[in-house]
Structures are given as structure tokens and as C-alpha cells.
A = this chain, B = another copy of it.
């Protein structure tokens, strides 16, 4: 009799790439399933990092709170991503909280098993290094943006990143397929919800996006890319005029 956890669930995930079937089975043996309601925390900043996870379905956000209570969104976790691997970096506590922004499903292991995994399979540690390297790269990009770019560019880039990771083509444009507020976007870009709201409103007027409560849809990718690169909108040509412009 087989477990309801199927090898195929994880065999294509980055972390487990090129592991043997038997290794995968052994790993699944010790996995625990976490079902998460929207708003539920998988773990909280400061807790002992006793488990690590892979997200199978849904979306999580990783947030850090500063000493004086301000929040920063570190990143969003997408299906297939590993998270909570603080212990593998010899960090005894989670440096941030991870919270489901929609109903989600994750697989978890005890941190103590990490060494087991890496010892059994040489690729495992290398894969983890690859993942963390990617994150480091992302973090540096963000530092660069916070240091040198204006708010509008940063917000445009943040939305492009979200679209890239979780964009869903619909007939009104590409929608970010999980709930996200102005406040969230502000916490990703180092600005305020007010400024984000103003930007989205302005963009909506120009037909670049549509947006509603916890919802953002990109209508004109090209235009958004232009904004992200700091080039202002070109002088509005007759061709790009919108129909209902007066």
C-alpha cells in the first residue's frame, strides 16, 4: 500500500532535482503535510527553526518586522519553493514570519533531517546553495533598486516580478493570481500604501493596469516595463490614445 504522498509531487522541484527515486521515497517517508488557511502562519520570526518546508500549492508571504513594528515583505513563496531553511544556514531561529495569503499546502521536515539528506545525496547541498544564491542575487537587486531608483520604478518592478512568478493570463490582462493589498506592495518597495494607491490609480487612468480590492491586473506589459526602466511614458501618440479619452 502506498502513501497518498506521491513521488511526482516533489521530483521536479529544484531542491530535489536529480535525486534517485529511492532517495525521493525515503525523503517522503518523513514528510509531514501542512494545510494552511489564508492568514495562518507556518512559523513566526524568532521561533526556533525546527522545520523546513516545500510549498506545494498556494502562496505565502515572508515578512520581517522591525524593532519599531514596521513590516517589510521579504518575498513571496510560490509553489515549488523551499522555505524555512534557516537551520541549514546554521541560524537557530527563523529570521522572518511566513504567512499564507491564500489557502495553501506545504510539505515539512524536521530540521534535524537536513543533515541526513545532504549526507545521503551530494546534490542536495549544492541545490540548496543554488537556491540561496538566487535569493541573495534577488536581495542585491532590491538593494540596488531601493538605493538608486524612484518609487514609481520600484513599484513597477515589484509588480512585474509578481506577474513573472504568478501571472495568469485572462481576457482583461495578466492578473496576479493571489490576493495582494496596496499595503503589501508598499512593504515590498519601501513606500506607503498611499503612494502605491496613487500610482495604481494613475496607471489605471492610463490603461496600464486594472485593479480592485486585493487585486492587480496588468493590461499593458510594455508600458509597465518602460516605467520600470525609468523611461517616462512617451508623448501620447494618436495610436495609443484610449477610446474614451473625452
CA distance A6 to B86 in the complex (A): 34
Min Cβ gap A156→B in Å is 14
Min Cβ gap A136→B in Å is 5
Instruction: Give the residues in chain B near A140, CB-CB below 8 Å.
Output: 64, 74, 95-96, 139
Contact with B along A143-156 (1 / 0, CB 8 A): 11011100000000
CA distance A137 to B143 in the complex (A): 13
A134 part of interface (Cβ distance < 8 Å): yes
Interface range, A side: 35 or more
Interface-lining segment among A25-33, A102-110, A117-125 = A117-125
Verify B74–A133 contact, CB threshold 8 A: no
Min Cβ gap A27→B in Å is 18
Nearest-neighbor residue (CB-CB) of A90 within chain B: B130
A220 part of interface (Cβ distance < 8 Å): no
Known: A132-B132, A142-B143. A119 touches B118 (CB 8 A): no
A70 part of interface (Cβ distance < 8 Å): yes
Verify A146–B148 contact, CB threshold 8 A: no
A9 part of interface (Cβ distance < 8 Å): no
